[in-house]
Every structure is written in C-alpha cells, then in structure tokens.
Amino acid sequence: MRIVKEAQGMAELGHDLTLLCPDEAEIGALAKKHGLNVHLLPIGRKKIAALLALRTWLGENPQDVINTHSSTDSWLIALATRMMADRPAIVRTRHISSPIPANLSSRWLYTKSCDHVVTTGEKLRQTLIDVNHFPAEHITSVRTGINLDYFSPVDQSVVRNKLGMDKKAFIIGIVATLRSWKGHRYLIRAFSRFSNKNSRLLIVGEGPQWDTLHTLVDKLGLRDRVIFTNRQQNIAEWMNTMDVFCLPSYANEGVPQALMQSQACGIPAITTLNGSINEAVIPDKTALIIEPRNSDAVLAALEQIYKDNKMISTMSEAAHLNAQKNFSSQQMIEKMDAVFTAAIEINATK
C-alpha cells in the first residue's frame, strides 16, 4: 500500500511521523506491523465528532505537514485546521481518476484548503488542469513506487510447486480488488472461450464483486479452471506463477500498483489505457493494449500472446527492465519529501 510505503520512507529519512486513522481501518494494523507510529481517531465519517476529535488532537500535537488521501480525511483536515493560528501545511494526494465535481466546494478543497496536490499519474494531473482548471503549478505527479527487491522474477516452477499450481498449465492472472470497473467479468468471459483448455485463470483479491463473479464462473462451467485466492500477502509469489497478467479495467485507475508489480516480475500484460495505465506499461513492448469493456478484445490478445513464445520472452525482459528503470520506491519517497518540504515553505508565507 502506497501510504504505508511512503510513511516508512519518511520515517527512514528521520522525520517524526504519525499515521492517523479510524479503529476499523486495516491500514492501522498494517502500519503498526511495519513499526510505524499509529494513532486511532474516530475519523471514518464526515461528522462533527470526527472534526472535534481531529481538532483536539492537532491542538495537542502540532504538525509541520499533513498528507490526506481521501475525500473524508481531506474535508476533515481542511475544516479542522481552517482557523488554527499555527496551521500545518496540507498536501492532498489524489489516487484515482474518477471525476471531481465541478462546484465551488470541490474547487476550494483542492486549491484554497491545501498547499499542494499530488496525483499518482501524469494523466490524472493533466485532467485536474484541463478539466477542473486547477493551477498547474499547484499539482505534481508522483508515480507510486514499488519494492524492486521483492517484486522481481523468480523460477516459475518453484513458486508453482510451493503454491500448489499446475506446472504445465498456461496461467492467466489478475491481482485487483473485486470491483466492477476492474473488468474481471470481461476477462472471465474471454477465458471461457480461450483455446487452451489446460489453462487456468488466477484471480487474486477480494471485494464487493466476489459473489457475482463466482456466479458467472459457475454459469460458464469454469469452476475447475478459475482459482479465487481471496486476498494474499505474498503477492510477488502469486504473480510469478503467471504467464500473463491481465487488467481489463475501464474506470477510476491511477497508475495501478499491481500492474507495475507484475511488470517488475517480468510478466507480460494485457490491459487498457484507462487512467494513467500508460505510465505502468509500454504499449506493444511490455503489454498488449485492448479497448475496455470488450471480451472479444481480451480473447484476441490472450490468443496472440499464448501462440507467440518469442513475444512472451521479449515482453518479459522489456517489462522487467522498464520497472527497474522507473518504478523504484526510493524515487517516489524522494519526490514526496521534496513536495512536503515545498508545501511547508509555501505555508510559511501565508
């Protein structure tokens, strides 16, 4: 998770960091597991009680800069700090590409209430500039970085044996929250017509589409060939069992971390150009690009890559090299540190 990786990086740079989250948020336990300082506050909803709790905590624990990551925490921080005499700098990170409402309150939230906005991809940044007309100098794109020591190619037969996967099967995989816009159903329908009947479809993740996708798999008679793993911690191992990674998403993407991770593992991809996906792959070199919401396009790409071993080998090498050059966590941390420093300087002049 980007938030935890950034927090770890800031702590390693010597910054005094606290992660604020509600008790029910899974990120709290994950952050504690990684040795981070976590403080629980009832800030999961936009309520007066949440606003007061946050204002009280900030009054007792002055901060130099606060980084928000969602609509709820952005509004709470904006309002809680509005009348503070010693207001901290505020940086708003925008992770997804869903449209921002064109109204005065949203414009205030993204411009006046914060000192800087970070997007996780350049296309997202350009959308805020071109569509929402936010000032270009107010927004920086910082692509999510990944651990390149962890996400790297390993012997496929070894991890397949460890995870109980068929060593001879052609494995198509996706790692994503089971949401409608990730496009799982288009992948499943394409897989049902895939020519290699000894293939497997590996679906790693959990989410609101769990029951719907299981029903579709049963309807298509694929229960023996589609593997649902639920959420997993050892993502790199699961990725390294795959012959191809497929992400047919059609909305709300930034730069998908799972796609970057699979590229770092040297797994060729089939994906759309939704959101800032083009910053995670090189079209026709590390991935085949398909149009969204199109099972026929998914199937055609699967058949193309399956029947061309040279393409798989060439794309695999190119994907790994591109990731090594562009996807490191250290690059992300250094850029975010510079953003925070600049935001503090901007805030000091107000």
Cα–Cα distance for residue pair 85/221, rounded to 1 Å: 64
Decide if 2-145+329-348 and 156-326 have a common fold. Answer: yes
Per residue in 292-330, pLDDT tens? 999 999 999 999 999 999 999 999 999 999 999 999 999
Sign of CA dihedral 322, 323, 324, 328: positive
pLDDT band at 254 (very low <50, low <70, confident <90, very high): confident
CB-based contact 111:136 (threshold 8 Å): no
CATH superfamily of 2-145+329-348: Glycogen Phosphorylase B; (3.40.50.2000)
- Number of neighbouring beta carbons within 10 Å of residue 210: 14
| Per-residue pLDDT, 275 | 86
| Per-residue pLDDT, 147 | 94
| Per-residue pLDDT, 98 | 86
pLDDT band at 259 (very low <50, low <70, confident <90, very high): very high
Q: Which residue has the higher pLDDT, 276 or 184?
A: 184
Q: CA dist 195 to 192, 268, 303, 304, Å?
A: 9, 19, 7, 11
The verdict on domain 156-326 having CATH code 3.10.20.600 is no
| Per-residue pLDDT, 1 | 81
Query: In what side-by-side order are the strands of the sheet with 287-289?
Result: 226-230, 200-204, 171-175, 244-247, 269-271, 287-289
Q: Which two tokens stand for residue 274?
A: 């939704």
Per residue in 203-215, pLDDT tens? 999 999 999 999 9
Per residue in 95-141, pLDDT tens? 988 899 999 999 999 999 999 999 998 989 999 999 999 999 999 99
- List the beta bridge partners of residue 21: 40
Q: What is the pTM of this model?
A: 0.82
Say which residue the tokens 């770890």 belong to: 8
Stretch 172-184: mean pLDDT: 98
- List the beta bridge partners of residue 34: none
Q: Does the pLDDT value for residue 252 go beyond 90?
A: no
Q: Does the pLDDT value for residue 350 go beyond 90?
A: no
Q: Does the pLDDT value for residue 43 go beyond 90?
A: yes
pLDDT band at 253 (very low <50, low <70, confident <90, very high): confident
Cα–Cα distance for residue pair 208/178, rounded to 1 Å: 6
Per residue in 62-88, pLDDT tens? 999 999 999 999 999 999 999 898 999
Q: Does the pLDDT value for residue 145 go beyond 90?
A: yes
Q: Does the pLDDT value for residue 229 go beyond 90?
A: yes
Stretch 220-239: mean pLDDT: 97
| Per-residue pLDDT, 200 | 99
State how far Cα 322 lies from the chain centre. Answer: 18
Nearest to 287 by CA among 245, 251, 258: 245
Share of the chain above pLDDT 70, in %: 100
| Per-residue pLDDT, 83 | 87
- What does the CA dihedral 114, 122, 232, 154 come to, rounded to 10 degrees? -140
Nearest to 153 by CA among 334, 316, 347: 316
Q: Does the pLDDT value for residue 191 go beyond 90?
A: yes
Minimum mean pLDDT range among 93-107, 204-218, 239-253, 282-296: 93-107
| Average pLDDT over the chain, rounded to an integer | 97
Query: In what side-by-side order are the strands of the sheet with 65-68?
Result: 65-68, 89-94, 116-119, 139-141
| Per-residue pLDDT, 223 | 97
- Domain range annotation of the chain: 2-145+329-348, 156-326
| Per-residue pLDDT, 75 | 98
* Geometric angle at alpha carbon 126, from 123 and 129, rounded to 5°: 155
